[in-house]
C-alpha cells in the first residue's frame, strides 16, 4: 500500500489486532474489536449528527440574512447539544389505536439502515469497518432498508397525514433508488470494481469526475438530484412536506423516536455526500497531480480523514443549498422527473460510459 497521506490506519489497526491476538484467545479479540468499533461508530454517529444540525442551521441562517444559533456557547456551538438533551428527556407519548410494535420498530429500522451504510464508507486511509469486494453494493442494499422504516412509521401511526406521507415516501424512494443505483453503476463500470478501497486507490492521480469526464459529470448531477430525493430533503421533502402534511410520516412521533428520524435524516445527508465523494471526488485521496511530486507531498500532509470530511461537507453544503433555495415539487412532477428524465438519461449515460471504456477515451491508466 502506497502512503498517499501521512496518516495510514492500516498499520495501526494491524498492530492493534496483533496485540490483542497475542494476549488473548481469537474469539475474545474479535469480540473486543467489534465492541470498540460499535462504540466508536455510535460516538461518531452522534457527533456527526450534532455537527450537521448546527452546520445546516448556520448555513440556512446566512442564506436568510439571520445569525442562526448564537446563544448557547460561543457562536451557538453548544446549541445542538442542548437540542439533543431536550430530545432525550422528552416524553414518548403513548398513542391509542396504533400498532405498537411496528410503531416502535420503525425509527430503529431507519437508523439501523443508515448505520449499516457507515460500515463500508472509507473514512480515511485504511479507516473503515469492513472491507469486502462488494462494498458499494452492500451500501445501496442497506440504504434501501430505510424506506421500510418510513412506510411502517406512516402505516402504524393510524393517521391519514402519516399514511399519505409514507405512501409518497415509498413511491419516491423506490423511484429514485433506480437513479442512485444506475449512476453508481456507471461509475462502478468505469472503476471495474465494487471494492471501495480499490475505487479510492484508482483515483490516486485523477478523480473519477476528471478522468471519466462527460459521463461522470452527468452521473454526478443525477446522483446529487437522486441522492437529495433519497434523503427526503428539499426540494424533494414531500414525505414530510410540513405545509401539506404537517410532518408527514413522523407526525405522531415524539421524544427520542422522533429524534431517530431526525438523526437519520442528517446522517443520510452525510452518507449521500460521502458516497458522492467516494465515487466522484477520490474519497479520502488528496488532490494530486501526476508528476507534481512536491505538490503531491504537500497535499499528503493533510490527513486523509480531513480530506474525506471536507469533501463530504462541501457536497452537503450543495444539498443544503438546494433545500433553502428551491420550492418543493409536487408528487406527480417528482415521479415524472425520475421516470421521464433521469432514468432515460441515466441509461444513455451508462451506454456512453461503456463506449468510453471500450474505446479508452479517458484519462489515467488502470
Partner 1 sequence: MAELQDKISKKFPGATFEESEMLLINIADAQLHDLVKTLRDEHGFNYLVTIVGMDWKTSLGCVYYLADAAMSRFVSVKTQTEDRDNPMLHSIADLYRIAGILEREVYDFYGIVFIGNPDMRRLFLNIDWKGFPLRKDYDMNDVANAPSIENERQSDLTQTWVELPDGKVERREEIVFKPEDFVVNIGPQHPATHGVLRFRTAVDGETIKKIDVYMGYIHRGVEKLCEDLAYMQTLHFMDRLDYFSAHNYHHGLCLCIEKAAGIEVPQRAVVVRTLMDELSRIASHCLFIGTFCMDLGATTMLFYTLRVREQVLDIMEKTCGARMTFNYDCIGGVMADIHPDFVKDVKALLDTLDKNVAEYNKLFTGNVIAKNRLEGVGVLSHEDALSYAITGPSGRASGWACDVRKLVPYGAYDRVQFEQVVRTEGDSMARFKNRVDEILQSKHIIEQLIDNIPEGDYLAKVPKVLKLPVGHWFQVVEGCRGVFGVYIESDGSNKPYRLKLATPSLNAAAVVDHITRGQKIADLITIGGSMDYIVPDMDR
* Residue list 304-363, contact with partner 1 (CB under 8 A): 324-333
CA distance 102 to 315: 34
Q: What is the DSSP string of 104-118?
A: HHHHHHHHHHHHHHH
Segment contacting partner 1 by CB under 8 A, of 31-39, 58-66, 81-89, 249-257:
58-66
Q: Does 95 bind partner 1 (CB under 8 A)?
A: no
Q: Which is nearer to partner 1, 245 or 276 (CB)?
A: 245
Q: Which is nearer to partner 1, 31 or 325 (CB)?
A: 325
Q: Does 164 bind partner 1 (CB under 8 A)?
A: yes
Distances (CA, A) of 295 to 4, 204, 286, 319: 12, 14, 11, 31
Segment contacting partner 1 by CB under 8 A, of 203-211, 241-249, 293-301, 358-366:
241-249
Q: Does 68 bind partner 1 (CB under 8 A)?
A: no
Cβ atoms of 93 and 103 within 8 Å: the answer is no
Which residues on neighbouring strands pair with residue 127, listed in sequence order?
A: 124
Closest separation in Å from C-beta 255 to partner 1: 21
CA distance 167 to 160: 11
Which of 10, 14, 37, 66 binds partner 1 (CB under 8 A)? It is: 66
Which of 213, 244, 305, 364 binds partner 1 (CB under 8 A)? It is: 244
Q: Which is nearer to partner 1, 3 or 325 (CB)?
A: 325
At residue 41, φ and ψ (nearest 5 deg) are: -60, -45
Segment contacting partner 1 by CB under 8 A, of 64-72, 194-202, 211-219, 267-275:
64-72
Cβ atoms of 176 and 228 within 8 Å: the answer is no
- Look up cell 455537527; give the residue: 51
Closest separation in Å from C-beta 242 to partner 1: 6
CA distance 61 to 58: 5
Distances (CA, A) of 224 to 72, 218, 260, 308: 33, 10, 24, 17
- Look up cell 446566512; give the residue: 62
Which of 242, 290, 293, 297 binds partner 1 (CB under 8 A)? It is: 242
Number of residues that bind partner 1 (CB under 8 A): 29
Cell of 217: 459529470
Which of 83, 177, 201, 237 binds partner 1 (CB under 8 A)? It is: 237
Q: Does 241 bind partner 1 (CB under 8 A)?
A: yes
CA distance 193 to 346: 19
Q: Does 73 bind partner 1 (CB under 8 A)?
A: no
Report the interface residues with partner 1, using CB under 8 A: 60, 63-66, 160-161, 164, 168, 234-235, 237-238, 241-246, 324-333
Amino acid at each position: 500500500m502506497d502512503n498517499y497521506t501521512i496518516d495510514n490506519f492500516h498499520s495501526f489497526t494491524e498492530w492493534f489486532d496483533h496485540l490483542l491476538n497475542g494476549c488473548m484467545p481469537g474469539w475474545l479479540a474479535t469480540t473486543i474489536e467489534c465492541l470498540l468499533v460499535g462504540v466508536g461508530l455510535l460516538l461518531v454517529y452522534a457527533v456527526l449528527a450534532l455537527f450537521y444540525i448546527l452546520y445546516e442551521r448556520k448555513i440556512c441562517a446566512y442564506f436568510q440574512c439571520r445569525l442562526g444559533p448564537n446563544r448557547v456557547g460561543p457562536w451557538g456551538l453548544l446549541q445542538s447539544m442542548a437540542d439533543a438533551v431536550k430530545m432525550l428527556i422528552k416524553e414518548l407519548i403513548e398513542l391509542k389505536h396504533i400498532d405498537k410494535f411496528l410503531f416502535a420498530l420503525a425509527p430503529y429500522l431507519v437508523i439501523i439502515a443508515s448505520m449499516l451504510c457507515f460500515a463500508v464508507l472509507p473514512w480515511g486511509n485504511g479507516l473503515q469497518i469492513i472491507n469486502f469486494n462488494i462494498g458499494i453494493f452492500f451500501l445501496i442494499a442497506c440504504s434501501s432498508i430505510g424506506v421500510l422504516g418510513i412506510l411502517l412509521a406512516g402505516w402504524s401511526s393510524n393517521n391519514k397525514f402519516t399514511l399519505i406521507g409514507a405512501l409518497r415516501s415509498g413511491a419516491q424512494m423506490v423511484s429514485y433508488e433506480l437513479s442512485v443505483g444506475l449512476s453508481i453503476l456507471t461509475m462502478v463500470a468505469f472503476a471495474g470494481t465494487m471494492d471501495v478501497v480499490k475505487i479510492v486507490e484508482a483515483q490516486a492521480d485523477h478523480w473519477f469526475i476528471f478522468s471519466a469526464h462527460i459521463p461522470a459529470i452527468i452521473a454526478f448531477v443525477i446522483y446529487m438530484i437522486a441522492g437529495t430525493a433519497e434523503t427526503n430533503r428539499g426540494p424533494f421533502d414531500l414525505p414530510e412536506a410540513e405545509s401539506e402534511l404537517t410532518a408527514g410520516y413522523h407526525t405522531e412521533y415524539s421524544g427520542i423516536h422522533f429524534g431517530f428520524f431526525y438523526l437519520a435524516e442528517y446522517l443520510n445527508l452525510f452518507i449521500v455526500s460521502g458516497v458522492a465523494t467516494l465515487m466522484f471526488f477520490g474519497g479520502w485521496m488528496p488532490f494530486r497531480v501526476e508528476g507534481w511530486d512536491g505538490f503531491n507531498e504537500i497535499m499528503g500532509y493533510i490527513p486523509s480523514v480531513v480530506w474525506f470530511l471536507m469533501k463530504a461537507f462541501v457536497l452537503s453544503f450543495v444539498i443544503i443549498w438546494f433545500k433553502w433555495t428551491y420550492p418543493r415539487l409536487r408528487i406527480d412532477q417528482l415521479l415524472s422527473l425520475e421516470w421521464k428524465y433521469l432514468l432515460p438519461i441515466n441509461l444513455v449515460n451508462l451506454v456512453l460510459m461503456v463506449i468510453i471504456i471500450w474505446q479508452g477515451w479517458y484519462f489515467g491508466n488502470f
